[in-house]
A and B are shown apart, each in its own frame.
Chain A
Amino acid sequence: MAKVFDRLTNLRAGTTDRYEVSKLALIIAGSLAVLLGSTILQVSFGAYPFTLVEAWQTVFDPAVLSSLEVWRWAFLGAAVPEWLTRQQLIVWNLRLPRILVGVLVGANLAVSGALFQIITRNELASPYILGVSDGAGLVVLLTLTLLSGLVPFLPILAAAGGGLAFLLVYAIAWKNGTSPVRLVLAGVVVGTVFGSVQRALFFFIDDLGVAMSAQAWLSGTLMNAGWAEVRIALPFTVLAMALAFAVTQELDVLALGEDRADSLGMPVEKVRFAIAGIGVLSTAAAIAVAGLIGFVGLIVPHMVRNLVGSDSKLLLAGCLFLGPALLVSADVGARLALSPVQLPVGVITGIVGGPYFLYLMRKKTDLGEV
């Protein structure tokens, strides 16, 4: 009798799992559809327009896709294959890598946002909550104003600045261990100081072009994204994603609160620092190639959690797909809406993100608790 009952409960447990997995499948399918649509739009339109059919045919051109030379050029930085037509070059050299960078950046921001929301136990946390954006922003301004010789290394420097600021935040928050609240407050401290210095530095810029490029960095843009950026971001993204998915069990336990995690035998401080480290690695990879794109890392985990719940594996998987879909489609708007003027994609994500939060505020009463 008990066995029958057990089997029944197992069966029912199986169905809920399937129900949530099916919602995840919906997110993935929807994201892929949006991504494909955005890709076709992004490839077709611009200064050199194609028809949608031409765009489709060039992206999925078997001659290009099956050429080893093309892949070596794209991912290993080899010479551009000479046999590519002008049309193929525009698609493959300009428009596709931008989409690919968007995919990587979107995945990084969404997944790291989910990580930071869990470790700070705050639904309104973003990848930038522990000072990463302020450190990166300050370094960008310093480089552009005072150390202009180092501009070619800007991506790496920005990522390193973000990492350093994160360590500083941790050091400030540490007092016989940390807590989510201490970490967030330390993030505010570092952010305030760095932000002020960064704004002060703007007054030392006398060249409009430098000011524009600083502003583009701070709002986040995919304007200059090419294969070089793909090569910078790809290895770190793959590493960060692999690590993030390796710690889903730890995330699940950490989401129960420090006390409970500790009772379950988790070394909370070490695990939290390690997870924050993974988040920072992921965020830094995004910052290095796209600057400080806001809201994606905040909204996407939120949307996914509303659909699949807070099971970390499902949450991260959802973020991995929805992040790219949101960022790439926003970039379509950034590039084409006011053509020929291109907006930083961070402006679009902000314009989309604000109303989404308004909607959430109206809909949910317990906003702010994980």
Chain B
Amino acid sequence: MADGRPSQMDGETVEHGSEAGTRAVDSASETTSESAAEIDGTDLVVGYSGRDEPVIDGESIAVPPDEVTALIGPNGSGKSTLLKAMADKISPDDGTVFVDGQTIDEFGSKELARKLGLLSQENVVPTGISVGDLVERGRYPHTGFFESPSDEDRAAVDDAIQLAGIENLRDRDVDSLSGGQKQLVWIAMAIAQDTDVLLLDEPTTFLDPQHQLEVMQIVETLRDESQITVVLVLHDIAQAARYADNIVALKDGSMYARGPPEEVVTKQLLADVFEIEAAVLETEYGLQVIPIDPVTDAQAAHTTVGPVPEDVPDTDREP
């Protein structure tokens, strides 16, 4: 299981797209290509300049199209780094990222931004900008140099705002919103970008339960109603188990396990990857993970995991 490379989970391509037509304003998703894009990384070696050891050392990932894939792992396991490499934010030292079979470098910058969107953890809010205006900026890759927003752009913005459930905030200044509301606005902006692949870096980490649920339900709706491939980094294992179609567990920059939640989220994995003793319960609300005790180093010594390198940068900001 530790080396799951042969069993890449690109087996089934579920077409959810036929349900999309029921929405009132849907011109945005109609204009995209017929099926959602596939995003693969092969033999990725990713590091940061100034560090000897790469964070990710020779991993491959194939994300099945049209599904939600969650990356989980402890702090410093390289999940954000992997996501950034897939988004072309960090160019890998070795290996290639493919979107729809084309290497990521072959795309023009705006062309890539129409295929692939990334929502980072930290976002800058300019002063005195209304929610509607901010979401509209997500249309940048779709507008030419001298063009003003078209009807299509406006429809995409309306659509994104509706999908994110922030109609009531539309005219508010973004400055004046709470953290959770802001996150919904950023997600609306990413939706307005109308990409085939959407990468979300810890979209729920600093939110209250209500907004966490809202965000995850938006992701679910996106998956069900548009043809979009979603990859997201999550800290909450139970959340990943509930909402993701596939889970990839990372430990020290390697892929420890991948597959559907029922297969991946196990007592053994939680002990090996997260170094916690936990109970995994199957309930009517899906898998529940109940952390019980941290596994100390002495206890962990018998597990299959190799020595933990100390110099992996902690890319996960703690609150």
Q: B128 is contacted by which of A5, A121, A310 (Cβ under 8 Å)? A: A310
Query: What distance in Å separates the Cβ of A365 from its nearest Cβ neighbour in chain B?
Result: 13
Interface residue B110 (Cβ < 8 Å from any Cβ of A): yes
Q: Which of B119, B120, B141, B170 contacts A12 (CB 8 A)?
A: B170
- The segment from A75-83, A103-111, A147-155, A253-261 that touches chain B is A253-261
Q: Which of A255, A263, A267 is within 8 Å of B118, CB to CB?
A: A263
Beta-carbon contact of A305 and B138 below 8 Å: no
Q: Cβ of A370 and Cβ of B89 under 8 Å apart?
A: no
A309 on the interface (CB 8 Å rule)?
yes
Q: How many A residues, CB 8 Å from partner? A: 33
A146 to chain B, nearest CB (A): 44
Given contacts A9-B158, A9-B167, A16-B171, contact A310 B126 (CB under 8 A): yes
Q: Is the CB of A264 within 8 A of B126?
A: no
Give the number of residues in B that approach A within 8 Å (Cβ atoms).
42
Chain A nearest CB from B199 CB (Å) reads: 9
User: In chain B between 126 and 140, which residues have their CB closer than 8 angstroms to a CB of chain A?
Assistant: 126-130, 132-134, 137-138, 140
B128 with A15: CB separation less than 8 A: no
Kindly list chain B residues whose C-beta atoms are within 8 Å of the C-beta of A370.
126-127
B114 within 8 A of A: yes
A6-B158, A6-B162, A9-B158 known; A253-B140 Cβ under 8 A: yes
Contact B132 A256, beta carbon cutoff 8 Å:
no
In the complex formed, the residue of A with least CB distance to B118 is: A263
Flag whether A90 is at the interface (Cβ < 8 A).
Answer: no
CB-based contact B137/A253 at 8 Å: yes
A interface: dominant SS: helix
Q: Is the CB of B140 within 8 A of A264?
A: yes
* Cα separation A73 to B126 with both chains bound (whole Å): 47
Is A361 in the interface zone, CB < 8 Å from B? Answer: no
- Contacts A13-B170, A263-B117 supplied; 17 other A-B pairs, CB < 8 Å: A2-B24, A2-B162, A9-B158, A13-B171, A121-B124, A259-B89, A259-B120, A260-B123, A260-B124, A264-B137, A264-B193, A265-B108, A265-B111, A265-B140, A305-B128, A310-B127, A310-B129
- What are 20 A-B contacts with C-beta separation under 8 Å? A2-B23, A3-B24, A5-B162, A9-B158, A12-B170, A13-B170, A16-B130, A246-B146, A249-B145, A255-B124, A256-B134, A259-B89, A259-B120, A260-B123, A263-B113, A264-B137, A267-B109, A309-B127, A310-B129, A369-B127
User: Which residues of B approach A to under 8 Å, CB–CB?
Assistant: 23-25, 87, 89, 108-114, 117-120, 122-124, 126-130, 132-134, 137-138, 140-141, 143, 145-146, 158, 161-162, 167, 170-171, 173, 193
Residues on A lying within 8 angstroms of B by beta carbon are 2-3, 5-6, 9-10, 12-13, 15-16, 121, 246, 249, 252-253, 255-257, 259-260, 262-267, 305, 308-311, 369-370
